[in-house]
Amino acid sequence: MGKKLLEKASLVIGPRTPVQHKTDKHAAVSQVADDVLSKPKTAIGAMAQFTDRQSIAIKEVEVLKDRLKEFENIIPARRIDPKLIRRSKWANRHELSFHDDDFRNLKADIEAEGGNVQAIKVRPLSGGGQFEIVFGHRRHQACLELGFEVLAIVEDVTEKRLFIEMDKENRQRKDLRPFELGVMYAKALDSGLFSSMRKMAEEVAYDQSQLSKAVSLARLPVDIVKAFVNPLDLQYRWASDLVASLQQNPELVLSLAKEIQSEIPRPAAAAVFSRLTEKRGTVPRSKPRLISLKGTLGQVAEMVFNEKKCSVEINLSNIKLARHAELETLIKHFLAA
């Protein structure tokens, strides 16, 4: 038996160098011997071998199942044409946040990488082929401007879930401003997405006091917001004082806000806040203001501006009849503006 095995091994090995020939011959003999010895000689042996192999296969399947469990909650990302993706109606990014240094740096990073490394999240819209952003508006905008496909996770989520995930992701990134958050929260409350501010604070897991301040900033009158060169400069800690000042003397504060808007250069945000919240009395009533003008051909105009009456009196003299229609047209255009 041993002689036959050696002969078979020699045929398998073929010519080699002396050392290799000896080593390979022993390995071949061992392999052939194992093959011969591993074959069951009885039905019982064959059954036992089958059972052992089946047991090993079952164990391998269990190991694979355990490994698959690690990927159960992972949703694969894919590349999507950014033109097929629209902003969410809950989008809380102010338009200025797409033109600041942070956005330019983000866009440069995405360009260097050839696309966004951190995926955005979108949900499919009815009709197919279109998507709505859950979070990642700036990354989407950067890819849109660069002409890159955007890496995105696609998941069908409810309206409230979309709002909560967008809010959570933005706050984790710590780059969303109080005014932007306030606009988003105010919109959610006004639309009835949450029954109350307290309920919203609970569901988005955010401090109710901070949330209330953000909403207060978003609900400031337009002229107050415009007094600041950039509304993104508004701070949480300013909310209470601005609201209190406005409630105490709304006419004065609004008048001052309009005055600040016309100043050149515009004051910094902190200076605007100080001026709007200073303790003042009633709005001063200026006296009627007279302006006299003379034309090159002897025309004379006198205008009296009365702030108290909200009126302007205009007296014109030495105006030729041919220009009356022109003057009438000018006044009509002024009043229609």
For the question of whether the overall pTM of this predicted structure is more than 0.85, the answer is no
How far, in Å, CA of 9 to CA of 25, rounded? 6
How far, in Å, CA of 11 to CA of 25, rounded? 10
Q: What are phi and psi of 312, to 5 degrees?
A: -135, 125
Q: Does 57 score more than 50 pLDDT? A: yes
Mapping DSSP to helix (H, G, I), strand (E, B) and coil, where does residue 230 land?
Answer: coil
Alpha carbon 172 to its chain's center: 11
How far, in Å, CA of 17 to CA of 26, rounded? 14
Residue-wise pLDDT for 308-323, tens only, equals 667 888 888 888 888 8
**DSSP state letters, 37-90:** HHS-SSHHHHHHHHHHHHHHHHHHHHHHHHHHHTTTTPPPEEEE-GGGEE--TT
How far, in Å, CA of 73 to CA of 277, rounded? 51
pLDDT at 204: 92
Computed on alpha carbons and rounded to an integer, the radius of gyration of the chain in Å comes to 39
Q: How confident is the prediction for the chain on average, in pLDDT?
A: 81
Q: What is the mean pLDDT of residues 145-171?
A: 92
Task: Return the ∠ at Cα 98 (arms to 158 and 272), rounded to 5°.
Answer: 105
How far, in Å, CA of 214 to CA of 237, rounded? 10
Domains of the chain, each with CATH number or no CATH: 1-35 (no CATH), 77-221 (3.90.1530.10), 222-284 (no CATH), 289-336 (no CATH)
Q: Of the ranges 63-72, 184-193, 306-315, which one carries the lowest mean pLDDT score?
A: 63-72
> What are 46's two structure tokens?
């064959």
How far, in Å, CA of 238 to CA of 235, rounded? 5
How far, in Å, CA of 213 to CA of 198, rounded? 13
Q: Does 326 score more than 90 pLDDT? A: no
Residue spans of beta strands (DSSP E) within 114-263: 120-124, 131-135, 150-154
Confidence of residue 78 (pLDDT cuts 50, 70, 90): very high
pLDDT at 285: 52
Q: Which of 214, 184, 193 is nearest to 92 (CA)?
A: 184
Q: Which helix (H) or strand (E) holds 23?
A: helix 18-38
CA–CA distances in Å: residue 154 to residues 159, 163, 302:
15, 16, 68
Q: What is the mean pLDDT of residues 267-272?
A: 95
Q: Give the number of residues written for the chain.
A: 337
Q: Does 44 score more than 90 pLDDT? A: no
Q: Of the ranges 80-84, 213-217, 303-307, which one carries the lowest mean pLDDT score?
A: 303-307
State what percent of residues in the chain have pLDDT above 70. Answer: 75
State what percent of residues in the chain have pLDDT above 90. Answer: 46
22 versus 204: which is more confidently predicted?
A: 204
How far, in Å, CA of 210 to CA of 197, rounded? 11
Q: Does 220 score more than 70 pLDDT? A: yes
- The long-range contacts involving 265-272, CB below 8 angstroms and separated by at least 24 positions, are 266/229, 268/229, 269/228, 269/229, 269/230, 269/233, 269/234, 272/227, 272/228
Q: Does 227 score more than 90 pLDDT? A: yes
Residue-wise pLDDT for 113-138, tens only, equals 999 999 999 999 987 789 999 999 98
CA–CA distances in Å: residue 333 to residues 154, 280, 337:
52, 38, 6
Strand order in the sheet with 85-86: 77-80, 150-154, 120-124, 131-135, 85-86
